[in-house]
């Protein structure tokens, strides 16, 4: 079998989309020794650690060029048994299609996007999900949203939760704090949040809640570290920080590598995720896997992901966010209990398991298209929990 994967997100700092496809490809390499994989990558991306049977083809990061010309041309040449994309398929796709749709926030909350981006996704995703043989999504919440938006057969949408990369694990807090002091000059204990600078991530609410907490509890020495890629919304967040009475205690890092992110998770006293809307919420699990206590929103898929292993709050109620942070910082017993529950919760999510189920769907879709069932030969050494 020859499977093709649109992996143009790799190397583009597209955070969730890049994390998803990069982890799938690395797991595919270990799980399936028989299939050939054609990966469509940006010219800047590198996947040198993948075996030779992963063919690397270069495509433009410009969506009009990639979807209108590059991918149709290469699909005609490569003749794969299947193409896997995220959100948007090429205009011409002569092969069975699998699409990953992580959420439909562009339909339910278009105010979180530029007007052009929301319109673009509305048009292209509708066309793609109708053409797809299978739609993959990471949560039951997103599945319900997709079914409601596009009136599809329920069997067409498969829920395959995201995993947690093995790189995210408990490390020495002392070593992590020493590294953060050296790289960021940050001596004080801190609260961490991770997410691109987008309206839906609720940075403004977090800044306000942090200011209220510091005012009410001046004995707390904590700073707030906000990790995330700069976007069109960045100037709004920067202006809010400048206006804050605790501006000197709020730090924007921009995009960071996984290595630095691991150290930030390891060094923080508390991880907070105040997003208004998520199709999954991977940073919640990453922080838990690193042994940190988590406070997160009780909306959309975050409730499903965190379950009872986080302190939950209404992201529209800053008072609840203030109390959640305060309780975890001032109650060491509560914080220790949530750290233990979070570590147990994160262990339930595995990229290897998700990749194995994704591969099984590849074979199913390709076999159905060819009129005969195709089954992946499972390796004993790759047995999954």
Cβ–Cβ < 8 Å for 27, 59: no
Q: What is the pLDDT of residue 385?
A: 37
Among candidates 19, 3, 4, 1, which has minimal Cα distance to 196? 19
- The answer to whether 309 and 341 are in contact (CB under 8 A) is yes
What does the pLDDT read at residue 376? 59
Q: Please give the backbone phi and psi of residue 300, each rounded to the nearest 5 degrees, phi first.
A: 45, -135
| Predicted local distance difference test score (pLDDT) of residue 378 | 63
Is the CB of residue 25 less than 8 Å from the CB of residue 50? Answer: yes
Handedness of CA 164, 166, 172, 178 (dihedral sign): negative
The string of pLDDT tens digits covering residues 288-338 is 999 999 999 999 999 999 999 999 999 999 999 999 999 999 999 999 999
Burial of 212-226, coded b for 16+ CB within 10 Å and e otherwise, reads bbbeeeeeeebbbbb
pLDDT in tens, 230-282: 999 999 999 999 999 999 999 999 999 999 999 999 999 999 999 999 999 99
Give the integer Cα–Cα distance in Å for 28 and 326: 43
Place of tokens 């048009």: 123
Going by C-alpha positions, the residue among 334, 351, 362 that lies closest to residue 282 is 351
The helix/strand/coil state of 98 is strand
Q: Are 139 and 282 in contact (CB under 8 A)?
A: no
Angle at 198 between CA 196 and CA 201, to 5 degrees: 80
3-state SS, residue 76: helix
Q: Is the pTM of this model over 0.85?
A: yes
Sequential pLDDT tens for the chain (385 residues): 999 999 999 886 667 899 999 999 999 999 998 999 999 998 877 766 788 889 999 999 899 999 999 999 999 999 999 999 999 999 999 999 999 999 999 999 999 998 999 999 999 999 999 999 999 999 999 999 999 999 999 999 999 999 999 999 999 999 999 999 999 999 999 999 999 999 999 999 999 999 999 999 999 999 999 999 999 999 999 999 999 999 999 999 999 999 999 999 999 999 999 999 999 999 999 999 999 999 999 999 999 999 999 999 999 999 999 999 999 999 999 999 999 999 999 999 999 999 999 999 999 999 987 765 555 556 543 434 3
Please name each of the domains of the chain with its CATH number.
2-163+350-380 (3.40.50.2000), 173-346 (3.40.50.2000)
Q: What's the confidence (pLDDT) of residue 53?
A: 87
State the Cα–Cα distance between residues 13 and 10, nearest whole angstrom.
Answer: 7
Cβ atoms of 34 and 41 closer than 8 Å: no
Q: Which long-range contacts (CB under 8 A, 24 or more apart) does 256-262 make?
A: 256/227, 258/165, 258/167, 258/168, 259/167, 260/183, 261/194, 261/227, 261/286, 262/167, 262/168, 262/169, 262/171, 262/176, 262/290
């Amino acid at each position: 079998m020859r499977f093709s994967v649109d992996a143009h997100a790799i190397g583009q700092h597209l955070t969730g989309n890049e994390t998803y496809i990069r982890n799938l490809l690395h797991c595919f390499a270990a799980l399936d020794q028989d299939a050939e994989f054609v990966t469509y990558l940006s010219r800047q991306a590198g996947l040198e650690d993948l075996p030779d049977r992963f063919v690397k083809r270069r495509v433009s990061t410009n969506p009009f060029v990639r979807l209108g010309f590059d991918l149709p041309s290469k699909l005609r040449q490569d003749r794969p048994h299947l193409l896997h994309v995220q959100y948007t398929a090429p205009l011409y796709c002569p092969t069975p299609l699998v699409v990953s749709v992580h959420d439909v926030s562009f339909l339910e909350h278009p105010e979180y996007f530029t007007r052009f981006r929301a319109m673009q996704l509305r048009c292209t995703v509708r066309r793609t999900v109708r053409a797809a043989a299978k739609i993959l999504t990471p949560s039951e919440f997103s599945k319900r949203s997709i079914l409601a938006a596009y009136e599809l057969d329920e069997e067409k949408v498969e829920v395959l939760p995201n995993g947690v990369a093995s790189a995210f694990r408990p490390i020495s807090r002392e070593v992590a704090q020493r590294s953060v002091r050296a790289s960021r000059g940050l001596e004080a204990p801190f609260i961490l949040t991770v997410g691109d600078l987008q309206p839906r991530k609720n940075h403004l609410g977090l800044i306000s809640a942090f200011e209220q907490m510091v005012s009410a509890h001046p004995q707390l020495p904590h700073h707030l570290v906000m990790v995330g890629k700069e976007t069109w919304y960045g100037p709004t967040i920067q202006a809010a920080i400048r206006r804050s009475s605790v501006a000197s205690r709020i730090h924007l890092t921009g995009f960071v590598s996984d290595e630095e992110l691991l150290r930030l998770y390891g060094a923080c006293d508390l991880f907070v995720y105040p997003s208004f809307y998520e199709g999954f919420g991977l940073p919640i699990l990453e922080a838990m896997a690193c042994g940190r206590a988590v406070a997160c929103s009780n909306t959309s898929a975050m409730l499903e992901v965190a379950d009872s292993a986080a302190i939950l709050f209404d992201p529209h109620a800053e008072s609840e966010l203030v109390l959640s942070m305060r309780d975890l910082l001032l109650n060491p017993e509560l914080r220790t209990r949530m750290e233990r529950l979070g570590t147990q919760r994160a262990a339930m999510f595995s990229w290897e398991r998700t990749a194995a189920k994704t591969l099984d769907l590849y074979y199913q879709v390709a076999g159905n298209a060819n009129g005969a069932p195709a089954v992946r030969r499972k390796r004993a050494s790759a047995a999954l929990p």
